[in-house]
Amino acid sequence: MPADVSADFDFQIGRWRVAHRQLKARLANCQDWEAFDGTSEMRPVLGGNGNIEDNVLHVAAGAYRALAIRSFDPALGRWAIWWLDSRAPHALDVPVVGHFENGVGTFLADDVLDGVPVKLRFLWLHTDTETPRWEQALSADGGQSWETNWTMDFTRA
């Protein structure tokens, strides 16, 4: 039976320094990565069944802010995660939905990239360490293969 309140994201509560890496082009056989720093602060909401992760990202074009908004459904034992970016302040990204199993969080969604349907995946890794990692990947073949296009490595601030 799913728990009434999930502690899955408790590892991320607090303030963090973040080392980002992003592919310069997605699903284009690109091997060029851009690295940049950021900060993140996460706090629980919804009585523990949700959280808000407030991010500052220092990209070459200039810093911007973004939010990860997460909500847990105790009946299904599943999380939904939305991304809201200050560069497009009225557009919530499609939610990825999933759960944690054996310390790994896997979250999936159907999305669109440049007008083409793709699968989107978020992974949370190393959540039982002082340096958790988040990865984003896309698949153009229905999930047969994945291209990781963004990583975030967290260290306590």
Task: Express each pLDDT in 4-32 by its tens digit.
Answer: 889 999 999 999 999 999 999 999 999 99
Q: How far are the Cα atoms of 4, 53, 105, 121 from residue 96, in angstroms, in the given order?
A: 21, 15, 11, 7
Element (H, E) at 46: none
Q: What is the pTM assigned to this prediction?
A: 0.94
- State the CATH number of the domain containing residue 65: 2.40.128.20
3 belongs to a structural domain:
no
**Model pLDDT for residues 99-125, shown as the tens digit of each residue:** 999 999 999 999 999 999 999 999 999
Is the per-residue pLDDT at 3 higher than 70?
Answer: no
Residue 2 lies in a domain: no
**Helix or strand (DSSP H, E) at 84:** strand 78-85
Give the DSSP letter of residue 74.
Answer: T
Q: What share of the chain is helix, strand, coil (3-state, %, to 5)?
A: 5, 60, 35
Residue 142 domain-assigned? Answer: yes
Mean model confidence pLDDT for the chain: 96
Confidence check: pLDDT of 1 > 50: no
pLDDT at 2: 58
Determine, yes or no, domain membership for 1: no
